Chains A and B, each alone.
Chain A
Amino acid sequence: MPETQPSADAIGAYVDAAAPLLGLTVDPAWRDGVVGHLGAILAAAGRALSEPLPDELEAAPVFEAAP
């Protein structure tokens, strides 16, 4: 993760570029909302992923609560 949160302008440019790749249309009226939410998600990711994890740690996408 970058050490500082990307600016709203940088996130907006990413939204403008990436949304069409997924076939998504972002109406100008919604753009600020989308940019704001993506900023919040990236900030959360920055917090969650700020510490290194062991390379051998498996992901838990299909999770079992106990062995």
Chain B
Amino acid sequence: MSPALTAAEIAAGVAARTLRARDAVAAALARIAALDARVGAFTDVTAERALARADALDAALDRGEPAGPLAGVPFAVKNLFDVEGLPTRAGSKINRERPPARRDAILVRRLEAAGAVLVGALNMGEYAYDFTGENIHDGPSRNPHDLRHMSGGSSGGSGAALAAGFVPLTLGSDTNGSIRVPSAFCGVFGLKPTYGRLSRAGSFPFVGSFDHLGPLARSTRDLALAYDAMQGPDPDDPVATKRPAEPVAAVLEAGAAGLRIAVAGGYFARGGDPEAFAAVARAAAALGVTATVEIPEAARARAAAYVISAAEGAALHLERLRARPADFDPAVRDRLIAGALIPAALVERAQRFRRWYARAVAEVFASVDVILAPATPCRAPRGGETTLVLDGVAMPLRPNIGVFTQPISFIGLPVAAVPVRPDEGLPLGVQVIAAPWREDRALRVARALEAAGVAAAPVARLD
């Protein structure tokens, strides 16, 4: 079985009875076993559970029961999602002493209800406070397109597992860019939905104000299938929307016609390598977009997100920082201790600015439907790098990878991350940003770019 098969292709084969779920799952497990030691995408492989579930699915189909939209699709989740029987480590050393989760996270249950089969949990930066995909406890997740380079993070394994062809579908979380950054670096599609759209119940938090969950995949069709399967209210997440599900798969092919699209100027057009902007220009040209639009005060938004993230993350981890500071990744610990010491008035002011900024950006969406912006200021850096040089200025790498993603998640806008290669080098990502609750528009434009051949997520050559 080709590792490049999409989730939709696998599900169609299983539904048509030309492919057995067991064979699809066994192929994924075999490729993981053969190649993941080099990539570092997985921290847990749930082979026994996966094969049992695949057999049960095949038996149900043999009895004539209907196939779900993701029938037989192997998938894996960032290890901050609860997986029954595993401690939810969230990339940390400390959390692996937690008791095993007693049930799967709600999004895992919803994907499995649609026929998908969980095959494991994925590597991530400690407690999701990371953009690199490096992990001091579990080792790095590496970029399958060049193993010397970073996968991006914090959902590093989620991006790497797709680019390596281990599975066609993964889940990640995105607080400040943690789906969009590894999507860009690993050259895959990602969806960070509107804040509150997908329930976070059964996942380990980071910054409650900004935490989102979402799918990553190698095609927009797969993103849409997974997203549709996971939507719906959930009383177990206090910020989950009460809006009914708004499925997107049926409108995906509507294309970009009729949508007002513009390229983000100003802040989003400087402070990055030329190829980051070349990727955006390539997408804009394919869509016939010449308009630009200014997202006001994006630099302040990014700074406010930075302050709130440090403060909320520190508050979440305060007991662990008191009791076991030496068990943290030092890079995470030092940021969190600093976050604990932020004067409260600054955090409150940042939250007040957030209200102002959300209103200002809502006005922008009165005149455009979709905004294009770079996902990262650079391609995947080499593993171990700590400095980023932009416009000849050296700056700390870790926080600055998220310079273009943070102002967007700060106010919960939905974004499709689209992989674009402007040249023969490593991939880059373009953010396709829409107004709140308009994931459909972001995905339609992402699909249009994919259909035009501008965006693609090929499996990396690892042999």
Contact = CB atoms under 8 A, between A and B. Distances in A.
Given A41-B339, A45-B307, 5 more contacts: A41-B306, A41-B342, A44-B302, A48-B350, A65-B436
A54 B326 CA distance: 43
B350 A37 contact: no
Interface string A11-48: 00011001100111111001001111110111011011
Interface string A49-67: 1110110011111111110
A44 B333 contact: no
A23 B325 CA distance: 12
A50 B346 CA distance: 11
Contacts, number: 134
Contact of B346 (A25, A40, A49, A61): A49
Contacts of B342: 38, 41-42, 45
B350 A30 contact: no
Contacts of B435: 66
Contacts of B335: 37
Interface in B317-363: 318, 321-322, 325-326, 330, 333-335, 337-342, 346, 348-356, 358, 362
A26 B303 contact: no
A66 B333 CA distance: 34
B95 interface: no
Given A37-B335, A62-B239, A24 B340 contact: yes
Nearest to B325: A25
Contacts of B355: 57-60
Interface in B170-223: 194-196, 209
30 contacts: A14-B341, A19-B340, A19-B341, A22-B340, A24-B340, A25-B322, A27-B326, A30-B334, A34-B334, A34-B337, A38-B338, A40-B338, A42-B346, A45-B350, A47-B300, A48-B301, A48-B304, A48-B349, A48-B350, A49-B349, A50-B300, A59-B348, A59-B351, A59-B352, A61-B209, A62-B239, A65-B436, A66-B362, A66-B435, A66-B436
Nearest to A51: B300
B412 interface: yes
A44 B307 contact: yes
Interface of A: 1, 14-15, 18-19, 22-27, 30, 33-38, 40-42, 44-45, 47-51, 53-54, 57-66
B310 interface: yes
Contacts of B330: 30, 33
Contact of B299 (A25, A36, A47, A62): A47
A25 to B, nearest CB: 7
A20 B306 CA distance: 24
B87 interface: no
A11 to B, nearest CB: 9
Contact of A65 (B194, B299, B304, B340): B194
Contacts of B322: 22-25
A64 B239 CA distance: 8
B341 A63 contact: no
B233 interface: no
Contacts of A60: 209, 351-352, 354-355, 358
Contacts of A38: 338, 341-342
B412 A63 contact: yes
